[in-house]
Amino acid sequence: MTTVAGALHEARAAGVERLDAQLLLAHVLARPRAWLYAHDDAALDAAQALTWRGLLARRAAGEPVAYLVGSKEFHGLTLQVDARVLVPRPETELLVDWALDRLTDAATSRPRVVDLGTGSGAIALAVKAAWPQADVLATDVSEDALAVARANADALGLPLATCRGAWWDALDGERFDLVLSNPPYIAGGDPHLPALRHEPTLALTPGADGLNALRAIVAGAAAHLRASGWLLLEHGYDQADAVQALLREHGFDAIETRRDLAGQPRCTGGRALAATERTG
């Protein structure tokens, strides 16, 4: 017979981290994680033990916990996730917090916001949840990702417009007050990529030096921002200087980089020049 204590012992032996094991076991038993602490001796029935061993083996082989339990918390929302989308990361909540600061300062009462490369819809839905009067659009080149984003929007009861296409190609002639993106930014040859093999490659790396998606987004941003609109981007820990240079080159001002909770420079943004200053 497998008990809660025995199951957690198996996880330790399989090299699965304690928190991950607790999340998986709580999922199998359909109990909150805290329940496990007071129920060391509770038994798993045969079906639960089978499910548990299957999930443990998949976790030990590197599959993200979020795929195994089917959901991930992001900025106070529970998002459904599976292998069609990147698992939303805690550092991306920083981009959302920055976006909400910008919306607080915005002159317009019904700001237009776009999230480029929305994946699960994490950024777009967190903004919409916190700022319901914003008109939020989410894009992705992956139809699979947009299906997940739309399912999350429906499940959360948050109105979200979606549009499929590569970066700005999807948005000819459209302008926004706020442009947000966490694009793929890992370099093609990065030694960390193999550890992320369960997530879509398209979500992780644009190949080469990792900057091509950021370059494409910055290059097209001025033509898609309203006067004094903001562009806020997530990037790799060593890409802040490159992104700042791109923003300067394309005429942005008030350029700033913010650090994540681990102290890494993680998001960089700037303001588009006022329309009257924009020439040629």
Q: Which stretches of the chain bind ligand SAM, using CB under 6 A?
A: 85-86, 88, 92, 117-120, 122-123, 139-142, 145, 166-167, 182-184, 202-203, 213
254 binds, among ligand GLN, ligand SAM, none (CB under 5 to 8 A by kind): none
Task: Name the residue nearer to ligand SAM (CB basis): 49 or 147.
Answer: 147
> Which residues make up the interface to ligand GLN (CB under 6 A)?
89, 182, 184-186, 196, 204
140 binds, among ligand SAM, ligand GLN, none (CB under 5 to 8 A by kind): ligand SAM
186 binds, among ligand SAM, ligand GLN, none (CB under 5 to 8 A by kind): ligand GLN
239 binds, among ligand SAM, ligand GLN, none (CB under 5 to 8 A by kind): none
Task: Name the residue nearer to ligand SAM (CB basis): 14 or 216.
Answer: 216
Task: Name the residue nearer to ligand SAM (CB basis): 44 or 158.
Answer: 158
Greatest C-alpha distance within the chain: 75
* Minimum distance from residue 56 beta carbon to ligand GLN (Å): 23
Residue written as token pair 């590197």 = 62
* Minimum distance from residue 92 beta carbon to ligand GLN (Å): 7
Task: Name the residue nearer to ligand SAM (CB basis): 25 or 102.
Answer: 102
Task: Name the residue nearer to ligand SAM (CB basis): 72 or 102.
Answer: 72
Task: Name the residue nearer to ligand GLN (CB basis): 93 or 177.
Answer: 93
* Minimum distance from residue 195 beta carbon to ligand SAM (Å): 15
Instruction: Show the tokens assigned to 228.
Output: 């004094």
